[in-house]
Structure 1
Amino acid sequence: MFYNPVLIGGAVAWFMAQFIKVLLNLIKFRRFDMERIFGSGGMPSSHSSTVCAAATVVCRLYGPDSAIFGVMVIMSVIVMYDAMNVRYHAGVQAKELNIIRKELKNNKVLNEDFINKISGNELKELLGHTPLEVLCGAVLGIAIGIIVPVLRI
């Protein structure tokens, strides 16, 4: 029977992080948002939880001195750096561009047809993560990565 604890650990961590995002969104805004099930950004980082769970399972199975664990650590650092920096700042820029677009449209500075040609919809703003969101995702992933090989989920 097929059993790959690295894939299972990563998948369980991703699912748990997304479930927590939906739950926190429900508590904060008192409404269900379907986008939060698969959407990026928010608390906790599912990217961080996924790579940290996979890295933790690899560490438990092959040891911290294995080459594959080294690769997993490097990949995890790259993913978490990207989430906190590149994607986070892309979200900040999207928010500012949406404000500019709205102001131009409301003040009739530019023709509305021209503004709609730029983009029919507002840019997605929730793309990346704060350091706290990445840290919480990493902690969740490490915890799941410790549990998965023990429970043989």
Structure 2
Amino acid sequence: MRYLIPAAIAWAVAQSLKHLFRLAGRNRRIFKGASKAWFMPSGGMPSTHSATVTAFVVYVGLSEGVESGLFAISFLLAAIVIYDSMRVRYSSGRQGELLNSLLTELKSSLLPVRVAHGHTLLEVVAGILVGMTVGLVVFITTKF
């Protein structure tokens, strides 16, 4: 259970930062036409996916050591999640935007598709930095 604490904190911090960036005029892309789930948008600065899995990996690495099997598994899964959020979901998000603009242009009666925004490299790096910070802080504060 203790491994979930840094991941949950990183998720909350990253989601909060996402809204602060929106208030500062960034992240318009992900909040434009936002659905009922405005509190959990996909995409944007920083990457919540990257922050969450990185905090988990850092905490596991510091707690169990980087030679442990748990660290190896968590590192591998984090790499997959980060790759997916940056490459796969970003591409599918762009395709969704293009499909919706085509539906609008053709005045189609079909409903717009849900667009899951992926992340840019900068958003992923920011998420990784948030996750590293949270993982380290949680480890240090719970060590005693």
**Structure 1, unpaired ranges of 5+:** 106-114
Residue matched to 1:72 = 74
The aligned residue for residue 145 of structure 1 is 135
Distance apart, 1:150 and its partner CA:
1.3
TM-score with structure 2 setting the length: 0.87
Matched residue SS, 1:60: helix
* Partner amino acid, structure 2, of 1:143: T
Q: Would you say 1:132 and 2:134 are equivalent positions?
A: no
Cα deviation 1:100-146 (Å, max 9, x = unaligned): 111101xxxxxxxxx32x32xx3333521011111110111011001
Give the partner amino acid of 1:18: Q
Aligned-partner residue type, residue 101 of structure 1: L
Say which one has the larger Rg.
1
Runs of 5+ consecutive residues of structure 2 not aligned to the other structure? none
Contact kept? 1:86, 1:128, Cα under 8 Å: yes
**Deviation for aligned residue 1:42:** 0.5
TM-score by length of 1: 0.82
The answer for the alignment partner of 1:9 in structure 2 is 6
Written as runs of structure 1 = structure 2, the 5 A alignment for 1:100-139 is 100-105=102-107, 115-116=108-109, 118-119=110-111, 122-139=112-129
Q: Percent identity?
A: 38
2:61 counterpart residue number: 59
Question: CA offset at residue 35 of structure 1?
Answer: 4.0
Match of 2:25, SS state, is helix
User: Residue 42 of structure 2 corresponds to which residue in structure 1?
Assistant: 40
1:99 is displaced (CA, Å) by: 1.1
Larger helix share, 1 or 2: 1
Shift of 1:5: 3.1
